[in-house]
Amino acid sequence: MRKHRIAAIPGDGIGKEVVAAGVEALTALAALDGGFELEFEHFDWGSDYYKRTGLMMPADGLEKLKPFDAIYFGSVGAPDLPDHITLWGLRLAICQPFDQYANVRPTRILAGIDSPLRNAGVGDLDWVIVRENTEGEYAGQGGRSHRGHPEEVATEVAIFTRAGVRRIMRFAFRTAQARPRKFLTVVTKSNAQRNGLVMWDEIAAEVAKEFPDVTWDKMLVDAMTVRMTMKPRSLDTIVATNLHADILSDLAAALAGSMGIAPTANLNPERQFPSMFEPIHGSAFDITGMGIANPIGTFWSGQMMLEHLGEQAAADRLMRAIETVAANKTLHTPDLGGNARTVDVTAGLIAAL
Ligand code: IPM
Ligand code: MG
């Protein structure tokens, strides 16, 4: 029997609720499949841990995570702690050292779920956003001087390395190549950001030569929001910088019907370190503890995790079950306009499996 060891980090807010649902669903799936076993170990890291210890995760946290085959993550952020502390203390503290440079965000309108786009339905929006996940605007370079004085200055420097851009570009072209349309849109803002993003465009053109069967085009990020909204069918695979893709992926999730559905994979494609799988929604303080969080984004992230672990048949089975649940309006949580609870969706998913 194949065995995969998974580190579960529910984190904060509804992360705890949706990861519990995800672990239950994946455990049921493994039992039904019979060919593999998932061994979960839970880590109570996050804001509560910070309030007790002054750290979001222990100093040897990365050492603890290293032996796992994957990380199943909930969300991070608490209303009474600054967001940059919680983010840099846990999520980025894992993504960056584990070199999870490829952040993959699939978006589709699932049958049964209404898009806010007029006349858009199943098949009209089927995208994979590839987000550079280790540098760019999230590189953490910069500082503050003259703190608190009128002349205070703060810098926030985006870092683009040739190696970093080339590897995400190759990953994006490979992703596009593996999809039926073999079509990639490269997003930049190289009209205004005339250094890093001009290099980004140049590297895109170089890497494109390695993929003659992939068609590609370029978009400026502002115009991209218009194209996503007005011509969703004209897009397939999309690659963008860390910040640009962060913003575009929220738009994508909203256009597909809800932030509660969208999954993400933080991949270290070379598998030197574990990769991390999480829903893209945050900790959602407004609904924390109410039992109404939508677990679909976490189930779908679990599906991506199974694919990464080589359990393709189980991943496909899970995706079909997610589609069955999405199509059933009695299993819609409030973010989708229904009144189902997290436990109802989880039970529905397991029944569909
Ligand atoms: C995301 C989130 C995070 C990000 C937040 C929680 C810092 O918005 O995964 O898209 O900006 O990377
Ligand atoms: Mg985001």
Q: Please give the distance, rounded to the nearest whole angstrom, from the Cα atom of residue 266 to the centre of ligand 2.
A: 13
DSSP string across 148-206? TSTT-EEEEEEE--HHHHHHHHHHHHHHHHTSTT-EEEEEE-TTTS-SHHHHHHHHHHH
pLDDT of residue 97: 94
Contact 301, 278 (CB under 8 A): yes
Our answer on whether the CB atom of 246 is closer than 6 Å to any ligand 1 atom is yes
Model confidence over 215-258: pLDDT tens digits?
A: 999 999 999 999 999 999 999 999 999 999 999 999 999 999 99
The DSSP secondary-structure symbol of 91 reads I
Our answer on whether the CB atom of 158 is closer than 6 Å to any ligand 1 atom is no
Q: Looking up tokens 């070379």, which residue turns up?
A: 270
Q: Break the chain into its structural domains and give their ranges.
A: 1-103+261-353, 126-140+153-255
241 vs 135: CA distance, rounded Å: 8
Confidence band (pLDDT; 50, 70, 90) for 274? very high
pLDDT of residue 141: 95
Please say if the pLDDT value at position 119 is more than 90. no
Active site residues: 138, 189, 222, 246, 250
Question: Burial code of 74-106, b = ≥16 C-beta within 10 A, e = fewer?
Answer: bbbbbeebeeeebbbbbbbbbbbebbbbbbbbb
Confidence band (pLDDT; 50, 70, 90) for 65? very high
Whose alpha carbon is nearest atom 2 of ligand 1? 280
Q: What mean pLDDT comes out for the span 184-209?
A: 97
Our answer on whether the CB atom of 87 is closer than 6 Å to any ligand 1 atom is yes
Looking at the CA of 11, which ligand is closest?
1
Model confidence over 130-151: pLDDT tens digits?
A: 999 999 999 999 999 999 999 9
Superfamily of domain 1-103+261-353: Isopropylmalate Dehydrogenase (3.40.718.10)
Q: Please give the distance, rounded to the nearest whole angstrom, from the Cα atom of residue 151 to the centre of ligand 2.
A: 32
12 vs 57: CA distance, rounded Å: 12
**Maximum Cα–Cα distance across the chain:** 65
Which region holds residue 13: left if phi is over 0, alpha if psi is between -120 and 50, else beta?
Answer: left
- Residues with CB under 5 Å of ion ligand 2 are 246
Q: What mean pLDDT comes out for the span 89-116?
A: 95
Model confidence over 16-52: pLDDT tens digits?
A: 999 999 999 999 999 999 999 999 999 999 999 999 9
CB hemisphere CA count around 81 (13 angstroms): 23
Q: Please give the distance, rounded to the nearest whole angstrom, from the Cα atom of residue 176 to the centre of ligand 2.
A: 22
Whose alpha carbon is nearest atom 8 of ligand 1? 246
Mean pLDDT, rounded, of the chain:
97
Q: What mean pLDDT comes out for the span 292-303?
A: 98
Q: Please give the distance, rounded to the nearest whole angstrom, from the Cα atom of residue 159 to the centre of ligand 1.
A: 18
**Non-local CB neighbours of 72 within 8 Å, separated by 6+ positions:** 6, 7, 8, 9, 19, 22, 23, 26, 40, 276, 277, 278, 301, 302, 305
The SS3 of residue 36 is: strand
pLDDT of residue 317: 98
* Residue from 91, 133, 135, 283 whose mutation best tests the ligand 1 pocket (most atoms within 8 A of CB): 91
Report, at the CATH architecture level, how domain 126-140+153-255 is classified.
3-Layer(aba) Sandwich (3.40)
Confidence band (pLDDT; 50, 70, 90) for 268? very high
pLDDT of residue 251: 96
pLDDT of residue 66: 98
Confidence band (pLDDT; 50, 70, 90) for 111? very high
pLDDT of residue 182: 98
CA distances from 182 to 169, 173, 177, 179, 337 (A): 14, 8, 5, 6, 35
